[in-house]
Amino acid sequence: MQNNTFSGLFIGRNLITLKEVDSTNTFLKDALSKSKPFLDGTVIMADRQYSGRGQASNSWLSEAGKNLTFSVLLNPGFLPIERQFDLNMAISLALNDFLNKYTSGAASIKWPNDSYVGKKKIGGILIENIVHGNTIKHAIIGIGLNVNQENFPADLMNVTSLKQALHQDYNLMDLLGEICSIIESRYLQLKAGKTVKLRDEYLSQLYLKDTWALFRFDNEIQNGKIQGLSSIGQLILETANGLRYFNNKEIEFIN
Ligand code: BTN
């Protein structure tokens, strides 16, 4: 275990790098349940996760030492639980800001929080909240970003990395410092109540927005056009039968 600091930042001020761990999210969650007093903005980064977790109980596979797998602890006590999607928007936008800089604007956000470059997934976010009363006491922001990995398992369709997209290797610590700084800016916008701005920008970056495309819902592949988001972050889709509202995992993107 190693302790480091990104200068001038609140996020990453306390940086713990681990050679290997089951999951950086689980590590933080376990530490919090044992009342370990980690600073707000602590980042746990691992070279290797042997039980990395993704959305909806999927696993997150990442070649050791090649990619970024890390979790950020935030204490957004100002955020009521019914506004948890606003935090998701801020973090998704931060990763998108970072990726757009490297890919000259080829990045987008696949609802609710996948990072895409072109038509391929390059990163994912797993946010786990610990709620106290009506507010989010701790948010564990887990981020996996494919950086220098060149080959992916054959059954992982439609994935890419910065190296695959841009044919270059990157220094993981440098990228982590940059991402922490961008997350901090977006998080401070959220804290300052700039929700309308975050929502507008999130919508403008949404993969397949305003485009007829194929989706699977109600156990069928059907056409739909993303129109926007409900106040709690449900996806609003125009369909042959009118507008439909979907929660995460009720709808799958086919394109
Ligand atoms: C997804 O797209 O399914 C979300 C993937 C989130 C993966 C990251 S890697 C760091 C952190 N630790 C985990 O076990 N998961 C998240």
pLDDT in tens, the chain (255 residues): 555 567 668 999 999 999 999 999 999 999 999 887 899 999 999 999 999 999 988 999 999 999 999 999 999 999 999 999 999 999 999 999 999 999 999 999 999 999 999 999 999 999 999 999 999 999 999 999 999 999 999 888 899 999 999 999 999 999 999 999 999 999 999 999 999 999 999 999 999 999 999 999 999 999 999 999 999 999 999 999 999 999 998 999 997
pTM for the model: 0.96
42 lines ligand 1 (CB under 6 A): no
Sequence ranges of the chain with CATH classification 3.30.930.10: 2-204
Please give the number of the atom of ligand 1 that sits closest to the Cα of 22: 14
**Rounded to an integer, what distance in angstroms lies between the CA atom of residue 51 and that of residue 83?**
29
What's the CA dihedral at 92, 82, 26, 52 to 10 degrees?
-40
**CATH fold of 212-253, please?**
SH3 type barrels. (2.30.30)
204 lines ligand 1 (CB under 6 A): no
CA atoms within 13 A on the CB side of 76: 33
41 lines ligand 1 (CB under 6 A): no
DSSP strand pairing (68-74 vs 114-117):
unpaired
Class of domain 2-204: alpha beta
144 lines ligand 1 (CB under 6 A): yes
Please give the number of the atom of ligand 1 that sits closest to the Cα of 143: 8
Sequence ranges of the chain with CATH classification 2.30.30: 212-253
